[in-house]
Every structure is written in structure tokens, then in C-alpha cells.
Structure 1
Amino acid sequence: MSKSTRRILLVGASSLLGREVAEELNAGAFAEDTVVLLDSDVEPGKLEDIGGEATVLQAIEPASFEGADAVIFATAADAGRYWEDAVRFGAAAIDATGTVQGLPVLSPRLGRIAPLTLESTGVSAAHPVATMLAAVLLPLQERGLLQDVYATVLQPVSEHGGAALDELHQQTVQLLSFQSVPTEQHDTQVAFNLLPRLGEDAKFDLAATARLVERQLATLVSEAPKPALQWVQAPVFHGYAVSMFVKTSEAVDRESLEEMLHGELVELVAPDDPPASNIAVAGQDKMLAEVAPGAGNVLRFWIVADNLKLLAQTAVACTAELLRMRPTGVVQ
């Protein structure tokens, strides 16, 4: 008997994140399933280059969600507009944007049991920074070592999507040509600059992203001290970087840390290796981390990850986890 295929919908497929999720779906556990790429305001049958292949995009219609086993939302606007439709048609819904409130937060690659039941209709895929921090803090918390956490997060422009990415490119080119720069997206100059906040009329809010990560991290690493986070907009296209100081209840040597952090998600970089950087981690399915002991039982971490790759993998893993909890076949 042939295996029945599932129907997986990806909403916002032409976005930066959507393209990354599409590649993950086509290359992983869902490669043999039917993956339908949906997008708002597209011409029916429009071709897009996704993963080096010409792929057909479909416009979203009221009946698009009928018969879907799972729906992944890759853009905030679509999650806000169509979430209820996906749930109403009985699909397992995954919000990769942090838009929908009140959902269980999952990051399956952390290797922890998901807080799901047979009645779970949707989940929120953990923000990449929440996963990055939790991957380091969870092992310390479980051993009773975690006391205080202070971190500076350097955010890439690709966090805000293609329009923001284009604006950074235009700003860079025009500054090098001694021309005025466009600021429609950020309401300020991002190129060659480090910013604790954007302009008042910016399309995005750094503080909102920080609050989202704080909420999600409190779920992923429960009963841990709340980290003090400083959020900074960096003039880079891709890749999060986090500078983190962790105070522990006792001294922790590098060998113990390597044992704690060993797994599929974190790769510790040796002192004599090339430095961990957002370029070095581009396209990689692991975080890179450097660690050094400090005075007074303080550990100094430098962590980098490909933000789009990490979030796409988290969203796809959430889809598999949510579908695993759902009964299959016909109930008599």
C-alpha cells in the first residue's frame, strides 16, 4: 500500500523566511508530501525561483486552507489575517512570526518535550534568538548553575524582510557615492551604523522583538533568572550575533561546558579556530559559540546563528511535532 501524502501549506512563500522554509520542507521529512506555496497579492501561477528551482505560487483564497494537514505562516501580516481560517478548517497551524498570542512556544531542536496535547491546534515557532539563548542557558539551569544573565543582541536587517534588506543595500551604495540615502523602512541610516532604536516612523520596532524573545525565553527556560537584554540594530544583512555574560554559582571549566552543550544545535569554536561570525555561520544548521571564563564565576559567550535558517528549521520541526500529536486515519 502506498504511503498517503500530507498537504502542507506555506503562507508567505515569497518572503525571505518563506523561501528558506520552502527549501527546508522540500529537503527534509516533508519532501514526499504535497507542499503548496501561497502568497498574498500574487498573480495565480506566478513562478518564483526558490531553492534554485522555478516554483509556482498560488494566491490565497477563502478555500485555500480546506484539506490542509498543516499551515506554516512565514509573514506577520498573513498570520494575523488568515490564522483563524487555517484553524477553522482543522489544519495544524504554525506561526513563525510571533504574531499570534497565547500559543505554546516550541523549539524542538533543543531536545525538550513539547507542551502539546491532542487538542493543540497551533504553536509558535521560537524566535531564533530565543533558541540561541535557551541552547546555552538550559544546560546550566538544569545543573543549578545559572544565576544572572546579561546579553547584547546584534540584529541583522533581514529580520525585517526583503524591503528592509533592499534599503540597507541602497543606503550602502549611495553613501559610498556621497548621495542621500532612502529611509522609508528604518526612518534612519542603518548602513555603517549601530543603533539601539530606529526612527519614530520606522516600519519595525526593536523593542517589540526584544519583548517577544523575553516572553518566549521565559517559556523555554522556566524558573530561570530573567536575562537583561540590550537590543542593537547592526548594519549587516544576515545572521544574529549575541554577546552574553553568564554568572554561575560555581566555576565551570571548558571541558564541562563542552559536555553540557554537546549536541546537534551548538558547536563550540576552539580558541585556535577561525572566529565565529555571521558570515561563517551562513547557511549552517548549527549555532557557533565561543566561550571564555571571566572573573568571579562569569562565563563570556559569543554566539552566532543564521537567523533565517534557524527559524525555518524550527518552524518545520514544529510542524512535524504538531502533526505527530494528531491522530491519523478515520475514527470509527
Structure 2
Amino acid sequence: MGYRIVVAGATGNVGREMLNILAEREFPADEIAVLASSRSVGEMADYGETGRQLRIQNIEHFDPAGWDMALFAIGSEATKLHAPRFAAAGCTVIDNSSLYRMDPDVPLIVPEVNAEAIDGYKARNIIANPNCSTAQMVVALKPLYDAAGIKRVVVATYQSVSGAGKAGMDELFEQSRNIFVGDPAEPKKFTKQIAFNVIPHIDSFLDDGSTKEEWKMVVETKKILDPKVKVVATCVRVPVFVGHSEAIHVEFEREISAEEAQKLLREAPGVMLVDKREDGGYVTPVECVGDFATFVSRVREDSTVENGLAFWCVSDNLRKGAALNAVQIAELLGRRHLKKG
């Protein structure tokens, strides 16, 4: 006996990826409903590469009673409207937006890092999925944190345009084409030209000069990993279609060598260590697309601080940064709380 599961936002990048991953991982679903706004009603959504197609329904008119869980990829405004309604009907919401992440009554979950925190989901019947850049970083940090404790993290991100949705991907494609043929490359989705450029600005600016994306990495890492860990982030949009990269510098509480760190990362769940210290002996965003893993490369000691390490971290942001993590949460919820059969 399987679950009755909903995917809301099935026409977007993350929603489509959720359907792909549910199919790939053979999630035990007896029934799947795919939802979107009224303008997409009646369209068909592919259930991965199974050949099965699902007809899109209007989220406004959908009755969630009797459904086990819903994966939401519909943005904060729509989530604010629909998540409480689903949760009240007994359908546990796994939300990809930022709306509930810092709610003390809503668990913020990365299954490889803080699986036990999911036990608090009953307070609101809602579980939050972290920001894409946070998710991959804490997966890489967790085995090192367990071994040596962490005092401080300094991270610079190199985030792909898919993090800004289909409009971001379209803008990179159109600007690149326009530049090649000599046409103007005016920004629409981004604040400046993204093609052949980098933009040190993701989300809105806050009073202290940081951006909201940088703030998310700080507060979410504290909630997921340890409130005592200090984090400073610089988040940068780069002209890559899919795959986020991060240069991470960590100051530990206790001594840990690069060799020890490599051994721990090699054995850590969700991590793939590729660190050959030779030409091409590392992973780039192009190579991580479509993969479940968070890749770590270039692990080395940082002599500028006591007990310091630096490393490179790459992951498919539409997968581990969003859809995969949501499906893993659904699997975890099923194992711990919604056992069927």
C-alpha cells in the first residue's frame, strides 16, 4: 500500500524535477495529483521517463482531504494561501519556498544532516525545504562538524540562473544569442547583464548591506546544523544554466587535517568526493547536472586560521537544492511517521 501524493507547481522547473525524481526513486505512490494555477489546467505533465502522463488540476479547487503529503513548489505567496488549507485537511506539506523556514514550529530538514528534527512536524503539519545554496553546503559540512566542531564558515557562492526560474534561464540564453549577433542584451529578470558576466546580488538588499540570499544561508545553517556556528556568505549569480558551486572556508573547534576530512567526506551520505589534485580532478557544475550527489573537491588546509580547511562544493540546485531534498523528506516522513501497509 502506497501514498497519495500531491505535486503543486508541476509546470515549473522544480515541480517538473520533483516528478522526475519521484519516478526515478520509485517512490511508493498509489496516486499522484499534479497542481498548478488556472492557466495550466488541462495540460499534461510527464511522470519522469515512465511514459505516464498526469493531467494538471487547478490548485484553487483541489480538495486535499484524504491525501497523505503535498510537495509545494509554488512560491511564498501561493504557499501562504494554500499550505495552511492542505495542512488542516491532514495532508502534510513539504514546502520549497522560504515562507516557513524560520518558523520555530516548522522543521527545516536536510535528511542527511538533521533527520530527527522532522519529528516536530505535527505542530503545523508543514515541513520546510531549505534554500538551494544552504542545502548542499550543510550536507558537506555535517561529517566535518561531527568530527571537529565548527566555529565559523566563510562561503562564496556561484549560483546558476535556474535558481531564478525559467525566466532566468531564458534571459541567459537570449542575452548570449543577442551578444553573438550584435543585438542589445538588456537585463529583464536580473539587475545587470548575466551573459558573460557575474552579478554579486541575489534577492533583495537588507539594511546591513547583505542580501536576503546571504541572510538565508546564515540563519538556515544555524537552524539545521548548530545555532552557535558563525556564517558569512557572498552570493553571486553566474552565467551557468544549472548547478550551484561554492567555495567554502571553515574554521573548526578542533584540529582536522585535509586527509582526515577527505576520508570523512568519502564515507558521508549524500557526498561524492572527487579530489585528485590534477588537471580535471574536480567537479564543475556541468558535470553535476542530473546527479543526486553533492560533490566536494579541492579539500586543503587553510593556514590563515587555526584548524582551518577550504574546499569546493558543487550540486544540481534543481535536485539536491530543491526537488531531491523534498522527495527525500517525503521518504523520511513515510519511514518515521506515515508508514503504510
Instruction: Please give the TM-score of this superposition, normalised by the length of structure 1.
Output: 0.88
Shift of 1:208: 2.0
Contact 1:244/1:301 (CA < 8 Å) preserved in 2?
yes
- In 2 relative to 1, CA 149–328 (structure 1 residues): closer, same or farther, beyond 3 Å? closer
In terms of mean alpha carbon deviation, does 106-115 or 6-15 score higher?
Answer: 106-115
In terms of mean alpha carbon deviation, does 70-79 or 179-188 score higher?
Answer: 179-188
Alignment of 1:133-152 (within 5 A): 133-152=137-156
Q: Per-residue CA shift, 1:190-246, capped at 9, x if unaligned?
A: 111111126989xxxx92222222221111111442111111111111111000111
Map of 2:18 onto structure 1: 21
* Bigger helix fraction: 2
Q: Per-residue CA shift, 1:100-139, capped at 9, x if unaligned?
A: 3512100113364234247341110122322222123333
Contact 1:42/1:58 (CA < 8 Å) preserved in 2?
no
1:264 correspondence with 2:277? no
The count of corresponding residues between Structure 1 and Structure 2 is: 322
Contact 2:114/2:224 (CA < 8 Å) preserved in 1?
no
Shift of 1:321: 2.6
Shift of 1:29: 4.8
1:191 correspondence with 2:171? no
Of the three residues 12, 34, 38, the one matched with 2:35 is 38
Shift of 1:57: 1.7
CA-based RMSD: 2.5
Instruction: Please give the TM-score of this superposition, normalised by the length of structure 2.
Output: 0.86
In terms of mean alpha carbon deviation, does 254-263 or 184-193 score higher?
Answer: 254-263
Query: How many Å separate the matches in 1 of 2:338 and 2:112?
Result: 23
Shift of 1:82: 1.1
| SS of the residue 1:210 aligns to | helix
- In 2 relative to 1, CA 216–255 (structure 1 residues): closer, same or farther, beyond 3 Å? same
Map of 2:55 onto structure 1: 56
Query: How many Å separate the matches in 2 of 1:236 and 1:153?
Result: 12
Map of 1:96 onto structure 2: 96
Shift of 1:49: 4.5
| SS of the residue 2:136 aligns to | helix
- In 2 relative to 1, CA 275–117 (structure 1 residues): closer, same or farther, beyond 3 Å? closer
Shift of 1:50: 5.3
Unpaired runs of 5+ residues, structure 1, are none
Contact 1:24/1:316 (CA < 8 Å) preserved in 2?
yes
Letter in structure 2 aligned against 1:91:
C
- In 2 relative to 1, CA 32–6 (structure 1 residues): closer, same or farther, beyond 3 Å? closer
Query: How many Å separate the matches in 1 of 2:12 and 2:326?
Result: 15
Unpaired runs of 5+ residues, structure 2, are none
Percent of paired sites with the same residue:
23
Shift of 1:178: 1.4
Map of 1:280 onto structure 2: 287
